[in-house]
Amino acid sequence: MNAFSYIYLIPLIPLLAFLFLGFTAKKIKEPVSGYIGTAGLLSVFGLSLYTAYKYFFEVGLVNGKYEPYKVMIKEAWVHFTDKLAIDLGILIDPISVMMLIVVSTVSLMVHIYSLGYMHSDTGFSRFYAYLSLFTFSMLGLVLSSNLFMIYIFWELVGVSSFLLIGFYFEKPSAVAASKKAFIVTRFADMFFLIGILMVGYFGQSFDFETLNSPSTYETIQAWIVNHQIFSFMGLSLFTWALILVYIGGMGKSAMFPLHIWLPDAMEGPTPVSALIHAATMVVAGVYLVARLFPLYYHIEGGTALQVVAVVGAFSALFAAIIALTQEDIKRVLAFSTMSQIGYMMLALGVSGFEGHEGLGYMAGMFHLFTHAMFKALLFLTAGAIIHAVHSNFMKDMGGLHKYMPVSSIVFLIAALAISGIPPFAGFFSKDEILTAAFEYNKFIWFIGFLVAGMTAFYMFRLYFRIFFNKQTDYGDHKPHEAPKTMLIAMVFLAVMTVVSGFIPFSTFVSADHKIFHSHIHWGDPLVIASILMAASGIGIAYLMYYKETAYPQKVATSMGNGYKWAKNKFYFDELYIFITHKIIFDKISKPIAWFDRNVIDGFMNLLGVTVEKTAEKIRFIQTGRMQDYAMYFVSGVIAIVMLIVYFR
């Protein structure tokens, strides 16, 4: 066995916690269930750290390259053919270990945070059960060694997200949001599944190691060249397969146009938003692309990767525009998340493969890591605020700085980080993305650059409006600082936000698993430009929002319809509702249901009715008159004779 044979414990512990809490949800009272869940996560966190240490510093690096390790739990869990099977295995390589750290850290923090946040909620135990389920699924997802296995956990995170969004199941909006989230991601998963089927068909394997090995993509590439007819819209079917897989990732990662579920998902408890909809699950799409990166990069010259980049860039811009106008703080954060994930996608999309060319890849992963920290922090802080003022809307807030100083400071740290102000974590990762993009395509770089400024603006708009701006009268119900458990989590993440930028990420994660070194060149005009951009964004926000001013209103009016559209998220919800309800439900499903009841069933009934009617009618042939009967006798003779004569 190899060095990581204990690794199955990492997903197993949360699973056991889930089962235990699930079956005893009625009997175990708060806070015991919380402690159980947290204790489980603590051990997972420990194991993750141990794994990371062991991998990165002890066994992983061989000749300057990180060798993947694989722990097989059950070979051929489902056996399809001799080559295709779902193997349950754990793959340990740089990105999975990195994700392990992200997931376990954020999850642990959320567990701790929730001890305070979910205090005296009737569903306390249920909440922890769900959290454990989610953690299990997410850990499973990141550790999967097999494309199909990732799909399994993909679905499981989907369902835990569904359960957690709909946690307040008596609230119709929460139920609707959970439904929407599940169905939209499920819709994307359908493409993912088709993609998997195609990858399996062409690649003849579901195993990541096999798929990512040069021999596989060379074979496929050769096949593509030889089979030009198997193409659709100019792209080979395998590229389409990768795009379909990416659509799955788009659904999970809320990329345009499958993003509509994410804002609504904020109906869930805030810690959940922090964990699932900011730090971990939503980046699954990024992780998926990173997982299959060699395929994306090598097949047909990276056409699929271009799609990733374009979609990522567009989503980043699109979400940032919407985020500028939102009033609900969690929604601002949600769109911010979407925008940042767009960034990561963009980074992957512009990446090369080997050495320094793989900067984008590394930067994307790096951004994933830092973003997880600061975005989780933002959400947790937002949770503390909502906890304090019992509202999600900025109009109900203002001047909170004096009531909640700690929150204010950690929020500021996170906001600076996301805006890309050095020395906070976001700066390093974002800057490397922009560098990579600049080398790849100026236009994409420009989008990223623009988005960076917008990000700084809307984050500080948020910050100022919450903590400064007008002095709202909160009545007798004065806001107060969050309880200790919540603060511990927030402060820990704040520390992470500050320090994680200094991790030499490129020595750990790279597209070809080989170490390379990347440095920030402080004098580089790109760096200066981006810092300036962020600063100007902050500045404008300061001017507009530090005090209550009339500028925002003016700007909004001057933008006219543009503002309205952005505020209404460009009417995408309405479009989707139109498509699903008006077209699919009313125009397809209803006619089909009608058709079934009236035409097909009607036909069967008609058969019955016809027989009955005929029976009713011909009954009167039997008149009761003997002569008529005799008549039939004689006619019978004549008829039969005629027939016989005719047929003979």
Partner 1 sequence: MIEGVSLFEIMSLTTILFFIGIYGFLTRTNLIAMLMSLELMVNAEAINFVAINKYLSPAVLQGQVFSLFIIALAAAETALALAIILHLYRLTTTIDVKEVEELKY
Partner 2 sequence: MDILSLFVVVPVVIVLAMVLFTKNLKQARMVALAGMLMQLIMSVNLIVKYLNAREAGDQSIMLFQKNIPWFAEFNAHYHIGVDGVSVLMILLTTLIVIAGIFVSWKIQPLSKEFFISLIVLATGVYGFFISLDLFTMFVFYEIAVIPMYLLIGIWGSGPREYAAMKLTLMLMGASALLLVALLGIYFTSSVGGQAPTFDILELAQREMPYDWQKIFYPLAFIGFGTIGALFPFHTWSPDGHASAPTAVSMLHAGVLMKLGGYGIFRFAMFLMPEGALFWQDFFLILAVTGVTYGALSAIQQTDLKYINAYSSVSHLGLVLFALLMINKTAWNGAMLQSLSHGFITALFFALIGMIYGRTHVRDITKMQGMMRIVPLLSVAYVVAALANLGLPGFSGFVAEMNIFVGGFLNQDLYKQALTVFAVTSIVVTAVYMLRLTGRMIFGPTTKVYTGLPKAFWYEKTAIAILVLFITLIGTLPFWWLQFIEDSVNNFIQPLIK
Partner 3 sequence: MNLDSLMLMRDEWFLTAVIMLLLIAEVLLSAKNKKYIIQLALILFGAYTISAFLPNDTGALFGSSYKTYPLVHYFKAILAFGVFIILLQSVNWLKEKLLPYDFTAEFFILIFSSLLGLNFMMSAGDFLMFYIGLELSTMPIIALTAFEFWNHRSVEAGVKYILLASISSAILLFGVSLVYATAGSINFDVIKNALQLPLLEIIGLIMIFIGIGFKISLVPFHFWAADVYEGAPTVISNYLSVISKGGAVYVLMTLLFVTFTAFQKEWNWIMYGTAILTMVVGNLFALRQQNMKRFLAFSSIAQAGFILLAMLSNNELGVKAIIYFLLIYIFSNVAAFGVVHVISLKTGKENIDDYNGLYRTNPKLSLVLMIALFSLAGIPPVAGFFAKFFLYAAAASKGYYVLIFIAVLNVTVSLYYYLLPVRAAFLRVSDHPIPFFKSDNYSRLAFIITMIGLLVLGLYSGVFEFISGISNIF
* Region near partner 2 per CB under 8 A, out of 295-303, 347-355, 540-548, 584-592: 584-592
Binding segment for partner 3 (CB under 8 A), chosen from 245-253, 260-268, 276-284, 613-621, is 613-621
Among residues 610 and 635, whose Cβ is nearest to partner 1? 635
Residue 544 structure tokens: 């507009």
Cα–Cα distance, 36 to 40 (Å, whole number)? 6
Q: Is 622 in the site for partner 1 (CB under 8 A)?
A: yes
* DSSP code of residue 213: S
Q: Report in angstroms how near the CB of residue 74 gets to partner 2 at its nearest.
A: 7
Nearer to partner 3, 532 or 611 (CB): 611
Q: Three-class SS of residue 359?
A: helix
Backbone angles phi, psi at 90, to 5 degrees: -115, 130
Q: Using an 8 Å Cβ cutoff, are 366 and 501 in contact?
A: no
Task: Return all residues near 510 (Cβ < 8 A) that are at least 6 apart.
Answer: 94, 355, 358, 361, 362, 516
How many residues belong to the site for partner 1 (CB under 8 A)? 11
Residue 86 sits in the site that holds partner 2 (CB under 8 A)? yes
Contact region with partner 1 (CB under 8 A), list: 4-12, 135-143, 246-254, 619-627: 619-627
Strand-pairing partners, residue 86, are 78
Q: Does 631 bind partner 1 (CB under 8 A)?
A: yes
Burial, 356: exposed, middle or buried (Cβ in 10 Å; 0-12, 13-18, 19+)?
Answer: middle
- Residue from 52, 84, 415, 436 that binds partner 2 (CB under 8 A)? 84
Query: Among 393, 171, 208, which residue's Cα sits nearest to residue 294?
Result: 208
Does residue 323 contact residue 332 with C-beta atoms inside 8 Å?
yes
When asked if residue 310 is in the footprint of partner 2 (CB under 8 A), the reply is no
Compare residues 528 and 630 and give the one whose CB is closer to partner 1.
Answer: 630
Q: Rule CB under 8 A: is residue 230 a binding residue for partner 3?
A: no
Residues 178-207 touching partner 2, rule: CB under 8 A, are 178-179, 182-183, 186-187, 189-190, 193-194, 197-198, 200-201
Q: Which residues contact 502 (CB under 8 A, 6 or more apart)?
A: 423, 428
579 binds partner 1 (CB under 8 A): no
Q: How far is 427 from 422, CA to CA, in rounded Å?
A: 5
The letter for the amino acid at 644 is I
Taking the least distance from each CB to partner 2, the nearer of 27 and 478 is 27
Based on the shown chain and the rule CB under 8 A, indicate whether residue 626 belongs to the binding site for partner 1.
Answer: yes
| 79 is an interface residue for partner 2 by CB under 8 A | yes
Which of 523, 557, 627, 647 is close enough to bind partner 1 by CB under 8 A?
627
Task: Please tell me whether residue 606 binds partner 3 under the rule CB under 8 A.
Answer: no
Rg of the chain on CA atoms, in Å: 30
Find out whether 237 and 198 touch, Cβ atoms under 8 Å: yes
* Residue 596 DSSP code: I
What is the CA 402 to chain-centroid distance, rounded?
36
Q: DSSP of 449-468, one letter per residue?
A: HHHHHHHHHHHHHHHHHHHS
What distance lies between CA 141 and its chain's CA centroid?
12
Tell me whether residue 522 or residue 647 sits nearer to partner 3 (CB atom).
647
Q: Measured from the CB of residue 190, what is the shortest distance to partner 2 in angstroms? A: 5
Beta strand 85-92 pairing with 231-232: unpaired
Query: Could you say whether residue 614 binds partner 3 (CB under 8 A)?
Result: yes
One character per residue 627-646, x = contact with partner 3 (rule: CB under 8 A)? -xxx-xxxxxx--xx-xxx-
**How near is the Cβ of 82 to partner 2 at its closest, in Å?**
10
Q: Does the footprint of partner 3 cover residue 611 (CB under 8 A)?
A: yes
Q: 80 or 502, CB closer to partner 2? A: 80
Residue 335's closest CA among 277, 294, 275, 269?
Answer: 277
Say which entry of partner 2, partner 1, partner 3, none residue 575 contacts (CB below 5 to 8 A, set by partner kind): none
Closest approach, Cβ 179 to partner 2, in A, equals 5
Instruction: Pick what 620 binds: partner 1, partner 3, partner 2, none; C-beta below 5 to 8 Å, kind-dependent.
Output: partner 1
CB of 630 to partner 1, least distance (A): 6
What b/e readout covers 605-634, taking b as 16+ CB neighbours within 10 angstroms? eeeeeeeeeeeeeeeeeeeeeeeeeeeeee
**What are the residue ranges of helices labelled H in 254-328?**
261-264, 270-274, 284-291, 293-298, 303-325
Task: Select from 52-60, 293-301, 307-315, 597-605 the region that touches partner 2 (CB under 8 A).
Answer: 597-605
What's the number of CA atoms in the CB half-sphere (13 Å) around residue 583? 7
In the bound complex, what is the minimum distance in angstroms from residue 622's beta carbon to partner 1?
6
Position 356: which residue type? H
Find which of partner 2, partner 1, partner 3, none residue 585 binds, CB within 5 to 8 Å per kind: partner 2
- Which residues bind to partner 2, rule: CB under 8 A? 74, 76-81, 84, 86, 148, 151-153, 155-156, 159, 162, 166, 169-170, 172, 175-176, 178-179, 182-183, 186-187, 189-190, 193-194, 197-198, 200-201, 585, 588-590, 592-593, 596, 600-601, 604-605, 608
Binding site residues, partner 3, CB under 8 A: 608, 611-612, 614-616, 618-619, 622, 624, 626, 628-630, 632-637, 640-641, 643-645, 647-648
User: Could you list the residues that contact partner 1 (CB under 8 A)?
Assistant: 619-620, 622-627, 630-631, 634
